[in-house]
A and B are shown apart, each in its own frame.
Chain A
Amino acid sequence: MTEKKIRVLIAKPGLDGHDRGAKVVARALRDDGMEVIYTGLRQTPEMIAEAALQEDVDVVGLSILSGAHNALVPQVIAKLNENGQTDVVLFLGGIIPEDDIQTLLEQGVYKVYGPGTDTREVCKDIHEAVKAKA
């Protein structure tokens, strides 16, 4: 019997082209033993939800550095819900002002990470969130 692997989608919605952070996190999760699906730049919320559906991921990690998080995140959540993927754990990383974080958490984001986050913390949080979900 194969051990259940955690599957994570790492996506960058919106128009900013800074994918370094997303790649660093993808690599860290891989090194933690997870299966990471990387979709690249400039994804619409529809495309992200579609990829999450086809890949049946446990976790979606969004990276947003454009400041458009208040517009994009609710759209991603709506699309995931529309597809019936209400149990996906959603993480967010990027430049997110303190004032916005609480709102995003209330909307259903599991956790928000800013610059300088230790990737080990992200790994630990994902394990906990997936465990709690099961």
Chain B
Amino acid sequence: MTSELIDSLRKGNRLALSRILSQVENRTDAGIAALEELFLETGTAQKIGITGPPGSGKSTLVNALARELRRREPDKKVAIIAVDPSSPFTGGALLGDRVRMLDLQDDKQIFIRSMASRGALGGLAEQTEALSQVFDAAGYGFILIETVGAGQSEVDVVNLAHTTIVVDTPGTGDDIQSIKAGILEIADILVVNKADRPGADQSVTHLRNMVEMGYNRSVINGKHHLEDFQESTTQEITSTDWIPPVLKTVASEFQGIKELTDALLNHSAYLRQSGQWHAKDRAAIRANIRHQLIANLLNDFNQNVPSELVDSLIERAQKRAISPNEAVRELLAYNRNNTLESSE
């Protein structure tokens, strides 16, 4: 069943692709098996993250960008993964990004998939990266990943995107907002959308100042907020050649989209020439492995350690007989001993 589906996907069957995306999103056994196989065929797509506050025009920008990318590179298929939040109370979601992407429905080389965040908090869903891998294996050359409306710290997209576009609108804050840490730091390209509104030039100036003051240093010192896995990724991300451009767009009128696409293709060329493409790929894989490792270790722990022990330690901590730190030490010791016994 699954191998038939995978064969159909390789032949370009879009229903098979869609079915596999669901299996992968739901982490079914078939989905996990499919992903293990398909991952080996990934690595060619340019993954582009689009993030920014709610209402800044991300979906409309994605709509315009996808059209322009198809016009510029007609041989490449475009995938769009649009993430919207799930309700924290009911788990339901209303996924409305397609409403802004009606221009794209006639082009069979564009595939739009809506995703609910399903409780994840970093601006993406748990399986967004996995879905992007399926699209990559299915031969989609550009994968646009639109995050949920993001505030200041939903920056997970940087872990999987080659290029991160941060979208803002005029008048959303003074220069103090723009020098705060967080979302603006992750941008490879900054966009002031709705630039026909008052204050656009001022926003551009603020952002340019921020880029000039802060960007180089944060990259040299840091890990570019890429999650590291044991050792630092500093050696992997060191180049300082790329200075994020700040661009004005009116996505609904298709203004500034050519320039944005230029910047995107320039960034792609820069990544390949500088070795950053390879480095980002490595960092993404590192983050992926680390993430899965943590999930699995926690799962093993929950199976090894009886909940009664956890409860009793919580009780002792609440009576102030031990500290939470000691409780953790005891749990880890129990887990270690238990694991040793079972492996003998």
Contact = CB atoms under 8 A, between A and B. Distances in A.
Interface in A37-58: 37-40, 46-47, 50-51, 53-56
7 contacts: A1-B28, A7-B22, A27-B94, A30-B93, A38-B94, A38-B95, A54-B112
Contacts of A70: none
B51 to A, nearest CB: 21
Interface in B72-108: 86-87, 90-96, 98-99, 102, 105
Interface of B: 14-15, 18-19, 21-22, 25-28, 86-87, 90-96, 98-99, 102, 105, 111-114, 116, 118, 126
A33 B90 contact: yes
Q: How many of chain A's residues touch chain B, expressed as a range?
A: 20 to 34
A56 B344 CA distance: 46
B121 to A, nearest CB: 16
A55 B18 contact: yes
B92 A30 contact: yes
A39 B92 contact: no
* 9 tightest A-B CB contacts, nearest first: A30-B92, A40-B99, A56-B18, A33-B92, A56-B22, A33-B90, A30-B94, A33-B91, A37-B95
Contact of B98 (A29, A39, A56): A39
Contacts, number: 82
Give the interface SS of chain B, mostly helix, strand, loop or mixed: mixed
Give the interface SS of chain A, mostly helix, strand, loop or mixed: mixed
A75 interface: no
B18 A53 contact: yes
Contacts of A38: 94-96, 98-99
Contacts of B19: 56
A124 to B, nearest CB: 15
Contacts of A53: 14-15, 18
A83 interface: yes
Contacts of B15: 53, 83-85
Contact of B114 (A29, A30, A37): A37
Contact of B90 (A32, A40, A56, A85): A32
Nearest to B126: A2
Contacts of A54: 14, 18, 111-113
Nearest to B119: A2
Contacts of A129: none
B93 A35 contact: yes
In this complex, which of A34, A56, A85 has the most chain B Cβ atoms within 10 angstroms of its Cβ? A56
Contact of B95 (A1, A35, A47, A85): A35
B27 to A, nearest CB: 5
A5 interface: yes
Given A35-B95, A53-B15, A54-B111, A30 B118 contact: no
Given A35-B114, A38-B94, 13 more contacts: A7-B22, A32-B92, A33-B87, A33-B90, A33-B91, A37-B98, A38-B96, A39-B99, A39-B102, A40-B99, A51-B98, A55-B113, A83-B15
